[in-house]
């Protein structure tokens, strides 16, 4: 349990940092790309207003100081741009390529014709692995098209993004490494509290068994002297109930420690049949119907003792809460893909339509609050919690479902790499 908690602590902490890094890097990248595109649009606007020429004087308005990047005549010289002016009367085109070297005048004319066919005032065009932003301005008898190589601005934005991603990955790796190294120290109080709780349960269980043994012995002596009475019978029932409850507590504490559980390849079919035979008479004596369907030769990796205990818990729970004269069905079979073994225990439960079945696995949870502790078939609310812990230790899953007045507990455990002895099913009633 502590190991699982530590892993969850590391995973959630790392995911939280990852979310923060993604948010920060994403925000910086978005702002950087936004400013880059804003810079491209501003330069195109300046060049378009001056028919593709650098203005002789830069005098931004007060509003532009806050809304747009600021440029000077010197700063504009760093950009690569060109323009073309088409005379509408004689269809002659004048090209300005003073600030570009990689595009010839003939290519500029082709790009201009290509842009004019789009009938758009602005946009982007891809040419020779370079993206050029353009802006079209209609003058009385002329059409001016200005092109700007935006790779310089966008490359800066990409560098910021790559640098942010790199720093984020390095920070995440360093954080995770430190977290793994010091996580045990961080959760040490929880480890100590968990250890004290287990020790308390175990020690208290042993201490409580002594007075219960004395009470049981005194009750038996009283029965020998005065005969059995309702008082002595009730006392023995409560002593038996407390003894069983203490054993549950001790078993649960030991189960969480996991030192005595030895996982090995076991014959799940054989153990299931053994448990079924032990419970069959008990269920029938209670006036209920019992059926089983067990595929022979199914092998799983589990602890034999705890697997026996798992099936016993499920059958005991089904017998307790099955409707009078209802049906209990035990099934062990292969999954659809033949990689897993499915164990299911189903019982009639007409009153279970509106019940939250996931809470069944909570310790001490009982749906019917009106039941008294003197009721013969009452439980402790611990068995299914133990079943869930056992299944987790086996590396499997347990879930519950309700359909047609019947509740089912379905366990999925990975099948061991063993050949089946037979593919037939055995059914008994």
The pLDDT assigned to 427 comes to 42
Buried b (16+ CB within 10 A) or exposed e, 243-271: beebebbbbbbebbeeeeeeeeebbbbeb
Q: Are 283 and 428 in contact (CB under 8 A)?
A: no
The pLDDT assigned to 373 comes to 38
The pLDDT assigned to 71 comes to 58
Residue spans of alpha helices (H) in 99-150: 105-116
Distance CA 321, CA 351 (A): 10
In 3D, which of 129, 164, 127, 133 has the Cα closest to residue 36?
Answer: 133
The pLDDT assigned to 189 comes to 76
Give the angle 379-398-424 at the CA atoms, nearest 5°. 105
- Contacts with 47 (C-beta within 8 Å, 6 or more apart), sequence order: 53, 54, 81, 83, 135, 146, 148
Alpha-carbon distances, residue 270 vs 106, 265, 294, 307, 421 (angstroms): 87, 12, 9, 11, 12
The pLDDT assigned to 196 comes to 73
Length of the chain: 429
Structure tokens at 124: 């982007």
In 3D, which of 108, 156, 105, 150 has the Cα closest to residue 132?
Answer: 150
Distance CA 395, CA 411 (A): 11
Instruction: Look up the pTM and report it.
Output: 0.50
Distance CA 207, CA 249 (A): 13
What SS3 class is residue 334? strand
The pLDDT assigned to 229 comes to 85
Per-10-residue mean pLDDT of the chain, 429 residues long, equals 74 90 90 86 84 65 48 68 82 83 87 87 86 86 87 84 91 89 76 70 70 83 84 82 72 59 87 91 89 92 88 88 90 88 91 68 52 43 76 88 88 76 41
Distance CA 364, CA 376 (A): 17
What domains are there in the chain, each with its CATH number?
190-257 (1.10.287.130), 264-428 (3.30.565.10)
Phi, psi angle pair for 13, to nearest 5°: -65, -40
């Amino acid at each position: 349990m502590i190991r699982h908690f530590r892993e969850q602590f590391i995973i959630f902490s790392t995911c939280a940092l990852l979310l923060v890094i993604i948010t920060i890097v994403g925000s910086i990248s978005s702002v950087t790309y936004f400013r880059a595109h804003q810079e491209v649009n501003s330069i195109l606007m300046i060049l378009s207003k001056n028919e593709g020429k650098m203005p002789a004087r830069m005098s931004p308005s007060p509003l532009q100081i806050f809304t747009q990047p600021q440029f000077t005549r010197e700063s504009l010289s760093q950009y690569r741009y060109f323009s073309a002016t088409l005379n509408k009367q004689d269809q002659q085109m004048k090209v300005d390529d003073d600030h570009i070297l990689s595009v010839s005048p003939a290519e500029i004319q082709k790009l201009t014709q290509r842009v004019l066919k789009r009938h758009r005032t602005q946009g982007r065009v891809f040419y020779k692995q370079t993206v050029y932003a353009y802006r079209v301005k209609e003058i009385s008898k002329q059409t001016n098209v200005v092109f700007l190589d935006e790779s310089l601005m966008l490359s800066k934005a990409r560098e910021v993004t790559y640098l942010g991603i790199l720093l984020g990955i390095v920070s995440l790796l360093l954080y995770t490494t430190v977290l793994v190294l010091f996580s045990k120290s961080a959760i040490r109080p929880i480890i100590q509290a968990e250890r004290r709780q287990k020790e308390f349960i175990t020690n208290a269980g042993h201490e409580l068994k002594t007075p219960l043994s004395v009470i049981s012995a005194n009750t038996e002596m009283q029965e020998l002297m005065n005969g059995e009475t309702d008082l002595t019978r009730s006392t023995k029932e409560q002593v038996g109930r407390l003894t069983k409850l203490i054993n549950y507590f001790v078993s649960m504490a030991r189960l969480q420690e996991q030192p005595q559980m030895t996982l090995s390849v076991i014959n799940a079919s054989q153990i299931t049949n053994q448990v079924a035979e032990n419970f069959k008479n008990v269920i029938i004596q209670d006036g209920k119907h019992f059926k089983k369907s067990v595929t022979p030769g199914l092998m799983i990796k589990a602890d034999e003792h705890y697997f026996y205990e798992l099936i016993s818990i499920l059958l005991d729970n089904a017998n307790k809460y099955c409707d009078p004269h209802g049906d209990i069905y035990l099934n062990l079979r292969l999954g659809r893909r033949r990689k897993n073994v499915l164990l299911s225990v189903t019982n009639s439960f007409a009153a279970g339509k509106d019940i939250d079945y996931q809470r069944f696995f909570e310790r001490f949870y009982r749906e019917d609050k009106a039941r008294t502790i003197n009721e013969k078939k009452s439980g402790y609310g611990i068995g299914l919690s133990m079943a869930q812990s056992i299944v987790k230790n086996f590396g499997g899953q347990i879930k519950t479902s309700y359909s047609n007045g019947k509740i089912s507990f379905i366990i999925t455990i990975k099948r061991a790499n063993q050949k089946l002895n037979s593919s037939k099913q055995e059914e008994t009633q």
